[in-house]
Each structure stands twice: as structure tokens, then as C-alpha cells.
Structure 1
Amino acid sequence: MSTPDLNLLVTLDVLLAEGSVARAARRLGLSPSAMSRALARLRETTGDPLLVRAGRGLVATPRALELRERVSQLVQDAEAVLRPAEQPDLAQLNRTFTLRSSEGFVENFGAALIARMAGQAPGVRLRFMHKADKDSTSLRDGTVDLETGVVGKAAGPELRTQGLFRDRLIGVVRRGHPLSQGEMTPARYAAGSHIGVSRRGLERGPIDEALAPLELQRQIVTIVAGFSTALALARATDFIASVPERHTASLREGMHSFALPFAVPTFTVAMLWHPRLDSDHAHRWLRSCVREICVK
């Protein structure tokens, strides 16, 4: 069975609306003979004359009357599919976005982001998901709409990324800790008892690599998976937590923070999304909200 020419739907819609080959031809910018040939093809395709002579004009057959509303709706639906998406009415938008982030993002930026979005789109809800690894499968399969974090080698090469802010590691101790007084030196920092932070349980990281050329080595007394856990331990002990500065601002309230007395590479926190959402207007609005909150 041959595939019907779907372009004929537009012709049929105009013919049924006008009830005249000449008027339909003018409306579509065709010659009367071309429109007559199109009507002949429609009659052959549908197996019905569709429009028949009645005096000096044409009248629709029962089959044509039956098809008129359906054809009109099909053409309207097709035009809607093919035209560019319209900007959403944020006040009427009803949608849940899932944002996957590493520890500290929600605590520092979540409240401001929710307030920012609720002020424009009260029907939008944010679902925050903990980022336990750098695997990008959830962005590919659509279970996550947006992700924040440091872009790693595990991120899919097809993903879109946009930097949000630069961050650096700093040291944090409880208020009244001996390190909260006096000059901080590499040797003094390394001599303390340290909390290692690693989702994979690694014992060494960029701080240890920075200390090695100075012939210094820190003592890791415990390893935890996240920054908030490290800060909670540091708050209740004499241990030292080394965490990202901007990512942990609210978590460090009431504690003593200090710049590391040696050079450690800074890093960029970015947002990542799948290219299928790149042109989605609601998703673009979500990205703009995240960007505006994070760059403040």
C-alpha cells in the first residue's frame, strides 16, 4: 500500500473551506488547473468525489462533510507541531524539575532558588536529588533535568555545560580551635588531625598533592563522603575540615575559616544538561534562575 501524500490534507482543508476550486487556488497561490489536478488526486486517494457540481457551483458530498472538521483539526495540529515553541506563561506553568547536585548546593543556594522561581512560576516544583557520582546516565534518560558540579571526565561529551562560579578549598575548624589564632603556615596546617572528604573513600586528594613538594604530609584521622558531614565533625572536635568556600558558606556559620597557606588549584562549578532540553523554553528559564542565583 502506497503512503498517501500528506500535503493533500492542506489542499483538502482549503477546498472544503472555500467550496470552490478557483477560490482555493487563489488562497494557496496555485493556478486553477493545478488545483483541479489536486482535487482529482484527492478523489482518487479518498475514493469519493468530495465536491460535485450543483448548478454553477460545487457542493460537498456527505463524505466531505464528515471529513471537514477532522481535516481542519489535523492541519491545525500539524502547523502547531512545526512552528517554533512559544514562550511559556510562567504564571500558568505546572511542571516539576529534578536538579541533581553535590552536597552543599541545596544548603547554600536552594532557598534563594526556590524563592526566585516561586515568585514567577508558583506552579513549578523543584525536586533535589543527591549527586552520589559523576555518571551522566540520569541526564541522558531524562530522570534528571539539570545537574550542578565540577565537570569530570565521566560526563558525557554530548552534554551542554555552563560555568556558574569559581571556587577554592579552604580550611575550617571549630570556634576556639588553636588554629583560629596566630599565623597559619603549611607546617602548622599539616600537623593537625584532618578529615578527608571523598565519595569514593580515597585517602589522597589535591591538598595532599600540594603538600608533597613542601615535604609535608597531613594525618587523615577519618574519611567521610560529604562536606556537611566533615563540617559537623569539625564543629564538635579538634579536627580540620578542608572544603569548598562558596559551596559551604551557610554550613560554616559559627566556625573559623581560613585560606590554605599553600597553592591549591581552583575549580569551576558548572551546570550540565542534555541537548534535547537546550531549546525547551521552560528549561531555559530554569537555567537562567540557577545562573542568576549562583553568580550573586
Structure 2
Amino acid sequence: MTHPDLNLLVTLDVLITEGSVARAARRLQLSPSAMSRALARLREATGDPLLVRAGRGLVPTPRASELRGRVGALVQEARAVLRPVAALDLRRLERIFTLRNRDGFVESFGAALIARVAKEAPGVILRFVPKPDKDSGPLRDGSVDLETAVVGDSIGPELRAQALFTDRFVGVVRRGHPLAGKTMTPARFAAGRHILVARRGIGQTPVGLTPAGQTPVDRALDPLGLRRDIAVIVSSFAEALALARGSDLIASVPERSTQVLRDGLHSFALPAAPPALTISLLWHPRMDADLAHRWLRGCVLEVCRPVGKGK
């Protein structure tokens, strides 16, 4: 039985990432001819051309695209295995951490987290990216270090999760809104004109025809025989609050996650309140033992800890 040359995994990862023999050669400090020979060996090993010419460049084959995430994860895990465990020197740590976050996280916790990190590790850079869906792929392939989410059935069972805080939905209107200061009954709330926040996959509902079960707010109203009057559908809580600020529309948003975004607006408890949400921190188990990653997780937990709770 022929044993594969595992060194080719590193070459394959760089070739697929760069999409160029010349750039891959420079990155691995090889000559273009040596990289071409490596590509030929990879083609023989996989039985696929992997990269084919399109105009002046190279494009990946379907097989190469399929391997992209798997190969990258394998290379990262191999490097982690071979990396010696040493004491963490935060003052000398230079690293970029990518955090994929729910809507409102950066506005509510970003500044405090940046200050907390900079105090101990000035060489660390935080990169915040939006969370448009519930796909766990970025955590698996290593393109994202940490993620905040409401843990549900869509979260991969192999991921680690740590509860950060509990949140609840509140209603929000502009200051001076006709409903501001009034006793909010379920019927009065439902009769107002509302902004629906629809994530990817639930944005096909016609305006005004939101079925029960569409959102936690609608599910709470459904047993009372009430349905919100939807005026507009947006894709984020930030957009919903921006519209509420400049109109007579009502937004329903998580309270703690949008605390900064709601500044200057009138917030009220929902008369038919959906269950509270538990916001959790997610990461891939291969990062459990990484000392810098473990330190960053502690920073996030400290920043997000509810006010008044000790260590």
C-alpha cells in the first residue's frame, strides 16, 4: 500500500487559497518549477486537475472547491499538534482574532472588549465580521475564532458553547410616539404598525401576512389570537431601530444586545413576552487548549457578564 505524502496537504492548501502557481511558490519559498511539479503530484494523487486555466489565471475545479475547507482545517490542526505549548506572554502576543457576531454585539460590547484586550495584549487585533446565517462552517474551517449565537438545533454538535448572558425582547418606539407612556396591552401593541426583522431564509413572507410562528414575538401573540400589522421587513435589528427612530413604526429587539443602538429611543416591556434568549459564545474544540484563544474567551465572558455579577 502506497502511503500518501502528507506534505502535499500544505501545498494543496496554499495552491487552492492563492489560485496561482507563482503566488503559491512565493508563499512557500519555492521555485515556480518546483511548485508546478508539486501540483502535478497532487493531480496524480487526487485524480483531479484541481486548478485549470481560465484566461490568464487558474480556477479551482469542483473537487478543489470541495477540498478547500477540509484541507485548511487539517493543516491548522496539524500545526497545532506540532506547536510547542509554552507560557503565554500577552505583552508579546501578536495575533488577529476573528469574531463573528450577532446583530448589535459590536455596538454594545465591542468598545469594552477592545479596551480589555488592549490593556493586556496590545499586539492583538480583533476583527469583527457579521453573522448573516447560522452556518457553523467558518468555525470548523478556522476562518472564525469565536462566534456569538442563540444555541439551537442548527448548531453543530461538535462545537463548544459557553453561556454569555440572558436577553429578552422589548418594544421600541421613537421619543414622542403616540404609544410612548401609554399602558401597553397586547391588543394595543399588535394594532400598531410594526417592523419585522427577518433573517436569511424567512424573508419571503408578504408584508402584512406574517404567519404565527414566524418570530418569537409572533409566537407569543398567537395564543391570544393577535397578529402584528407588519409595515416593513428588514434584515437586522440595527435597521429596525433606525426606522423606528425616524417614523411611528414599532421595533421589537433583544434588550441587552441593542442597548447602545436604542440610545435616545423609548423602550417598553412587551405585553405578551416571548421566552428569554440565552446568548452563547461558540468555538471549535480544536481551540480548547490554545492558551491565547482561552484567554480571549475569558475576556469576552468578562465583558459580557451581567452587571452586578462577580467572577
Query: TM-score, length-normalised on structure 1?
Result: 0.71
Range that drifts further, 175-184 or 249-258:
175-184
Whether the 8 Å CA contact 2:103–2:237 is kept in 1: the answer is yes
Paired residues in the alignment total 216
Of 270, 278, 281, the match for 2:280:
270
Q: Secondary structure at the residue paired with 2:154?
A: coil
Pair 1:223 & 2:200 matched: no
Deviation at 1:82, TM superposition (A): 8.2
Whether the 8 Å CA contact 1:101–1:129 is kept in 2: the answer is yes
Provide the rounded CA distance (Å) in 2 between the counterparts of 1:198 and 1:219: 15
Whether the 8 Å CA contact 1:112–1:293 is kept in 2: the answer is yes
Provide the rounded CA distance (Å) in 2 between the counterparts of 1:213 and 1:179: 23
Provide the rounded CA distance (Å) in 2 between the counterparts of 1:121 and 1:217: 50
User: What residue number does 1:151 align with?
Assistant: 151
Provide the rounded CA distance (Å) in 1 between the counterparts of 2:128 and 2:159: 20
User: What residue number does 1:38 align with?
Assistant: none
- Relative distance call for 1:91 and 1:238 in structure 2 (3 A) is same
Whether the 8 Å CA contact 1:277–1:283 is kept in 2: the answer is yes
User: Between the two proteins, what is the percent identity of the paired residues?
Assistant: 64
Deviation at 1:84, TM superposition (A): 7.0
Whether the 8 Å CA contact 2:169–2:273 is kept in 1: the answer is no
Pair 1:184 & 2:184 matched: yes
Of 283, 291, 294, the match for 2:293:
283
User: What residue number does 2:262 align with?
Assistant: 252
User: What residue number does 1:68 align with?
Assistant: none
Whether the 8 Å CA contact 2:97–2:126 is kept in 1: the answer is yes
Provide the rounded CA distance (Å) in 1 between the counterparts of 2:274 and 2:300: 27
Q: Secondary structure at the residue paired with 1:293?
A: helix
Please tell me the residue identity of whatever aligns with 1:253. Answer: D
Q: Secondary structure at the residue paired with 1:113?
A: helix
User: What residue number does 1:49 align with?
Assistant: none
Range that drifts further, 261-270 or 194-203:
194-203
Q: Secondary structure at the residue paired with 1:179?
A: coil
Offset from partner CA, 1:106-137 (integer Å, 9 cap, x none) = 00000000000000000000000100001000
Please tell me the residue identity of whatever aligns with 2:129. Answer: M
Structure 1 runs (4+) greater than 3 angstroms displaced: 81-84
Provide the rounded CA distance (Å) in 2 between the counterparts of 1:248 and 1:105: 7
| Aligned-residue RMSD, C-alpha | 1.4
User: What residue number does 1:126 align with?
Assistant: 126
Provide the rounded CA distance (Å) in 1 between the counterparts of 2:82 and 2:138: 29
User: What residue number does 1:243 align with?
Assistant: 253
Larger Rg: 1
Whether the 8 Å CA contact 1:165–1:270 is kept in 2: the answer is yes
Whether the 8 Å CA contact 2:161–2:280 is kept in 1: the answer is yes
Whether the 8 Å CA contact 1:134–1:152 is kept in 2: the answer is no
Whether the 8 Å CA contact 1:139–1:145 is kept in 2: the answer is yes
Please tell me the residue identity of whatever aligns with 1:171. Answer: G
